[in-house]
Structure 1
Amino acid sequence: MQGTSTSSGDVCAPLKRKMKFTDMNIDCIESCLEHLKLDDLLNAAASNKRLNRAASFIYHRSYSTKLIHLNIVPGNRSLQFRPNSRIEFCNLMSSLRLLRCFGNLIKNILISYKGVYKIVDDDLDDIGINNYELTLRAIEYLNEYCTESSTLIQFNKLKNVPVYLKEQFKHVTKLQMVDCDFTELVENNSFNAIFPRTEEFFVSITDSILYPTSSFKFMANHFPFLERLHIRHSDRYLIETRSLKQSLTAAIHLNPQLKQLTIKQYNSFFDANFLQSVNNSLKNLEFLGLSMDEEFNSKANGELIQFKNLKTLEIYIQSSAESFQIPFAIDKLEVLVFAMNVRLTNFSYEFIEKHPYLTNLTLHAIKHEHAINSRINVSRIANSLPLLEKLKFAMNINITIDEILPHCTKFKSLNEMSFCQHGNVEVTALKPFESIGWSGTVERMSQKTRINLKRIKSE
C-alpha cells in the first residue's frame, strides 16, 4: 500500500554506510600509518587526535632515540636523515608541527642558528622576519611541549637563550652550548634553575663571532648533579676572553663534586697556573682531559699539581720541546692516554714511570706528518709498568712486529696489545707470538695493518 511500503534499499541504507579510516581500532590504524614517511606521519598526527595517538606509537618506536636537529632556513622545506641518527628539519612549519605533535616524545634535540635570511616561505605572512626570529619561535614551542621529555639539548650559535627558556627542563642531563653568545645575559641568571638535573655540560668556542666581550656567566652556577664538564676552545682569536676563564674558574669552585673535566684548547689559555688555582675544588676528579703547548708551564710556580683521586688522564702535548715536563702528581692513576706532537721524550718516560699502577696505556702522535718512527722504548715501558693489562699504539705511530716481539714476555700482566705496521701483514706473520702464549688477528687499512694481540689463557 502506498505510504506503508518500504523498499529494500531504504531498509539496508544504514548498513551501507562506509566505515571511516578512524573507525578502525587503534592497532589497525597504527599498522596503516607505519608505512608512511616521517613528514607524512606528521601530517597525519596533526589532522586528528585518534591518528595522533596511533602516530605517537610509531614515532616512539622508530624515532624517539634520534637527535632532532631544528636548523630552520626560510624557503627550505626539506626533512633529511643525517648520519649518526640525526634528523634535520629546515622548515619552520614542519618543526613546529613536530614539537606540537611529538614534543612529549623527543629526548634529544639540537637547535641551530645559521644566519639572517629573507623569508621566501609562502606559508608565512611575516615577510622579512629573519632566521633568528624563526628559531626563537621553535624555542617557544620547546618550552611548551618538550620540558618533560628532553634529556639532551644542544644550542648552536644562539644568543641569550635563557631569555626565551621560561620553563624548567626537569630531565635534561646533557647540555651542550656551541658558539653561543650570551653577552646580554642578565647578571643573576637562572640557568641552573632551568636545567636543574644537568650531569654533563659541554661548552665549545670555535667561531670568531664570539668577541672578547662575550659573557660566559651562564656557566658560573652551582649545578647540584653536574659531574662532567667539557670545554673546547679552539679559536686563536679568542685567547684573551677573560670572561671565559673567570666563569670556568667560578664553575669549578661552585661544583666541587665534578668527576670529569676536559679542556681542549688551541693553546694553553688554561695553563698550569689555572689548574693550580682551582685544584682545591677538584678533589673528587676522576678523569682529566687536557691539551697543552710550550706555554702551559710558563706561569707555573714550579710546584706539582696534586690529584688524589684521578684515575684517568688524557693529555695532548702540542710541543716539540725536549724539556717539556708534565707538572702533575697523581696517586691512583690507572688509565693514561698520551698524545705527543713528535715523540716520547725522556721526561715523558719519566712521567710514565712515576705511575706504576697503570693498567691501560694508549700512545698517540697528534699529527700524521710527525708520525713516530721506531722510537718507542717498549722495554722501558714494560719494565716500569708491572700491572699494565692493555697497551695500544695508535695508527699514526709506526712500529713493527720485530720491535714488539722481543718484549712481550717482559709484560707481566699484559693481556691485550694493539699496534700498526706499514704495508700488508698476513696473519701467518703472527705465528712467532703463539710460541710465547699470544694469539693475534690483523685488520687491513689503506696503507697499514693493525695487529691485535691477546694473551692465550692457560687451561
Structure 2
Amino acid sequence: MDNRNEAADRKRQPEGANPPANKRSKTSETVSADVQRASNKIAQQPTKIHYTRLRRRMDEEEEEKLAKLGPQPNDGTTKLTDVNVDCLEHIFKNLSLIDLLNVADSNKQLKPAADLVFASRYGKQWIFILSRYKSILIFERNMYPPTVQIPRSFRLKLLRCFGHLITKLDITHDKHMDAYVNEYCAESLVEIKFQRCKASTLDDLKKPFTQVKTLCFDSCKLGSKLSELDKWFPKVRRLEFTDRNETAVHFPHLQHLTLSLPIDTNNRLNNLSELLRLYLNTRSLSIIGYFEFKYLQSVSEHLQHLERLDINPFGYFSNVGNDTVHFPNVKKLKLRDVVRESRLRWATH
C-alpha cells in the first residue's frame, strides 16, 4: 500500500518541480555553450567590421582606376577608336571628302587619321569657294576638270575641320567665311586670292597670314585699307592686282608684280610710276590692260633689276613713234599681240 501511495504522489507532482539530476546537468552545459558562442561572436565583430571597410575602400580605388582608363570593352571586341592611326589612315583613304568631313567633325580620336588623308589628297591643291558656284571646287594645278566638288553648304565645316591643312584658297568675300579663313587658315595658307572683297574684309581679320607668299586681288575695292596689307601679309613675294588701286603698299620681300590697268583709270602714268618706285628690286613684272607706250618707258626707268617681263595689252599701243625701251637685265620677255606696230623696237640685253 505504501508503495502505491508513493507512486500516486509522484504522478500528482508537477513536471519540472524536481527534475532529475541528469537533466539539470544537461541544461547547464547548454547554457554554458550558448554563453561561449555569444562571447566569441562579440569578440570577432570588430575584425569583421574592419575587413568590410577595407574591402569597400579597395573596391572604390579599383573603380577610380578604371574610370581614368576610360570604358573598357567587356565583350572581347575591338572598337574603331582602338585602332592605331596608320590603320585608320588606310581605312579612311576609301572615304569621300564629305564622309571624311563627317568623321573629322564627329570624333576627336579619329580626326588625326582624317587629317593625314586630307593632307595627302588635297593639301597642295587649289580650293575654290566662290559665290558664283553652287559647289566647292578642288583643282589640281588649277586645271579643269576639278578633282572633286562638294556642295557649297560644307564650306564652313571644311574650313573648321581642315583649314589648318589648306595651302591654296580662292574665295569670294563673305563676312562669316572671311572670319573662318582667318581663324583656321592663317598659319597654313601659302597662296590666297580674294574676289570682290571690300575694305571691311581687313577689319574682320584678327591675326596675320604668316605663310602667304602669293597674294591676289580680283575686282576688289580696298581703298585706303590697301596700305595695311603688309601688316596682314608680311611675307608676300608675289602680288597680283586685277583692278585699279589708287593707294600703293610696300612689301619688302616682293619679287613678282602683276598689274592690270583699266581703260577708265585717270592719271594712270602717275599711279604706275608711284607704284613702281616702291618695288625697285622687283625681278618679274606682268602688265595687263589698256596702256600706252610711255608706260613701258616708266617701267624701264624704275625697274632696273627686272629679269622677266610679260606684256599683254588690250588693243594696240598708241604714240609709239620712234622711241626705244631698254631693259638691260631682262632674260625672259613675253609679248602677246604687241608687235603690231612696225615702228616698235625692243632693246634687251
TM-score, normalised on structure 2?
A: 0.69
Indicate whether 1:280 and 2:301 are aligned.
yes
The residue identity in structure 1 corresponding to 2:333 is: L
Shift of 1:246: 4.6
Percent of pairs with identical residues: 29
**Equivalent residues of 1:257, 1:284 under 8 A apart:** yes
**Equivalent residues of 1:108, 1:150 under 8 A apart:** yes
Counterpart of 1:170 in 2: which secondary structure? coil
Aligned to 1:257: 281
Change beyond 3 A, Cα 1:204–1:186: closer
Shift of 1:106: 0.5
1 CA distance for matches of 2:283 and 2:73?
70
2 CA distance for matches of 1:245 and 1:50?
59
Indicate whether 1:111 and 2:164 are aligned.
no
Aligned to 1:204: 242
Shift of 1:258: 0.7
Aligned to 2:11: none
2 CA distance for matches of 1:294 and 1:63?
40
Residues 275-305 of structure 1: CA deviation (Å, up to 9, x unaligned): 32343321110111123588635177x5432
**Higher Rg of the two aligned structures:** 2
Shift of 1:102: 1.1
Gaps of 5+ in 1: 1-12, 114-134, 206-214, 333-459
Aligned to 1:223: 251
Shift of 1:111: 0.1
2:217 to 153, 157, 177: 177
Shift of 1:55: 0.2
**Equivalent residues of 1:44, 1:51 under 8 A apart:** yes
Counterpart of 1:317 in 2: which secondary structure? coil
Shift of 1:244: 6.0
Indicate whether 1:98 and 2:144 are aligned.
no
1:64-213 alignment runs, 5 A limit = 64-72=123-131, 76=134, 78-80=135-137, 83=144, 87-88=148-149, 90-92=151-153, 94-112=154-172, 135-160=174-199, 161-182=201-222, 185-186=223-224, 189-205=227-243
1 CA distance for matches of 2:326 and 2:264?
27
**Equivalent residues of 2:194, 2:217 under 8 A apart:** yes
Shift of 1:32: 2.1
Aligned to 1:324: 343
Write 1 or 2 for the structure with the bigger share of strand.
1
Gaps of 5+ in 2: 1-71
Change beyond 3 A, Cα 1:72–1:307: closer
Shift of 1:39: 0.8
1:401-420 alignment runs, 5 A limit = none
Change beyond 3 A, Cα 1:258–1:162: same
Counterpart of 1:111 in 2: which secondary structure? strand
**Equivalent residues of 1:260, 1:286 under 8 A apart:** yes
Shift of 1:158: 2.2
Change beyond 3 A, Cα 1:54–1:243: farther
2:326 to 306, 313, 323: 306
1 CA distance for matches of 2:169 and 2:238?
15
Change beyond 3 A, Cα 1:282–1:14: closer
Aligned length: 273
Counterpart of 1:50 in 2: which secondary structure? coil
**Equivalent residues of 1:71, 1:89 under 8 A apart:** no
Counterpart of 1:256 in 2: which secondary structure? coil
Change beyond 3 A, Cα 1:253–1:95: same
**Equivalent residues of 2:287, 2:313 under 8 A apart:** no
Q: Which has the higher contact order (CA 8 A, sep 6+)?
A: 2
TM-score, normalised on structure 1?
A: 0.54
Counterpart of 2:193 in 1: which secondary structure? strand
**Equivalent residues of 2:226, 2:249 under 8 A apart:** no
Aligned to 1:315: 335
1:341-360 alignment runs, 5 A limit = none
The residue identity in structure 2 corresponding to 1:158 is: C
Aligned to 2:34: none
Aligned to 1:20: 79
Aligned to 1:35: 94
1 CA distance for matches of 2:344 and 2:179?
51
Shift of 1:25: 1.9
After TM superposition, the runs of 4+ consecutive aligned structure 1 residues lying more than 4 A away are 78-82, 84-90, 243-247, 292-295, 318-321
The residue identity in structure 2 corresponding to 1:31 is: H
Change beyond 3 A, Cα 1:288–1:230: same
